[in-house]
């Protein structure tokens, strides 16, 4: 799949291999069970849409989204806690949704922890709705936590 993609925000750019040390450090700072370097490398290798927000030479947010047929799946989405509540999550999510529209995606899905009310609120404001539950999806220190499955339909 090759397409010319315009960047609507000049601080958002594609993630590259050289970003992985910073991305992994951010990932490890926010998740007790973080993705590995290999997972991020595989996402880049297979061409998943992987974007970062860089501010003052520092990666402060990233998103990875897979696409196939007419569906997309947001696989991971992180904003550095020091930069939350400043509009970065909305900006990066809007960017991903615009990319999905450019690729004629009809539905976008994601999983989110029910305990992550801030993220749920961001997704709901973007138009996502709860469509299901994946029991015991996320590892925790004391077992497993369910995941809410959220979806967004894009109409053209």
Question: Which residues form the catalytic set?
Answer: 111, 123
In the block, residue with structure tokens 């801030």: 118
Decide: 101 and 152 in contact? Cβ < 8 Å: no
What are the angstrom distances between the C-alpha of 130 and each of 120, 122, 153?
Answer: 9, 13, 12
Q: How far apart are the first and last CA of the chain?
A: 21
Helix (H, G, I), strand (E, B) or coil at 138: strand
Distance CA 127, CA 153 (A): 8
Tokens of 85: 């509540």
């Amino acid at each position: 799949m090759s397409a010319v993609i315009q960047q609507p925000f000049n601080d958002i750019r594609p993630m590259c291999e050289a970003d992985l040390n910073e991305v992994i450090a951010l990932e490890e700072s926010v998740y007790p069970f973080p993705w590995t370097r290999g997972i991020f490398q595989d996402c880049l290798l297979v061409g998943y849409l992987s974007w970062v927000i860089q501010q003052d030479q520092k990666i402060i947010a990233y998103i990875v989204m897979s696409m196939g047929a007419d569906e997309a799946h947001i696989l991971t989405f992180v904003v550095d806690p020091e930069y939350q509540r400043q509009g970065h999550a909305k900006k990066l999510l809007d960017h991903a949704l615009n990319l999905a529209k450019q690729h004629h995606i009809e539905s976008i899905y994601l999983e989110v922890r029910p305990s992550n009310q801030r993220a749920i609120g961001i997704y709901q404001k973007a138009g996502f709705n709860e469509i299901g539950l994946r029991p015991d999806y996320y590892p925790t220190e004391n077992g497993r936590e369910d995941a809410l499955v959220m979806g967004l339909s894009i109409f053209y």
